[in-house]
Amino acid sequence: MPSGPTPMPGRRCRSCSAPAGAEGDVGGMIVCLCNALTDRQLEQAVAQGARRPREVYAACDCKAQCGTCTRMVLGMIRDAVLQPAAGEATMAAG
């Protein structure tokens, strides 16, 4: 019995080039069941500048389907925007 999600045929994350949900991808927890996207894939898309859920899904070469994961994607974007860059935190502290 296969473990993990069933890969979407031909679907690859544009951020990390891993087949979505396939064995050997970047790993992580599946956040978007409809598109078999992991938290790592979504975080990578946000780290590369996606600032709207639509941009995050587009970076992973898909669209939101049911929308259940959108709150989590919004949380990732919010965390990325609110989190100061490492250099800024060091400068502010010292």
Contacting positions for ligand FES (CB under 6 A): 32-35, 64-69
* Residue partners of 23: CB distance under 8 A and separation at least 6: 4
Rounded least distance, CB 42 to ligand FES, Å: 10
Distance separating alpha carbons of residues 66 and 14, to the nearest angstrom: 21
Amino acid at 4: G
Residue number with CB closer to ligand FES (15 or 35): 35
Which one, 65 or 90, has the nearer CB to ligand FES? Answer: 65
Tell me the closest approach of the beta carbon of residue 71 to ligand FES, in angstroms.
10
Name the 3-class secondary structure at 50: coil
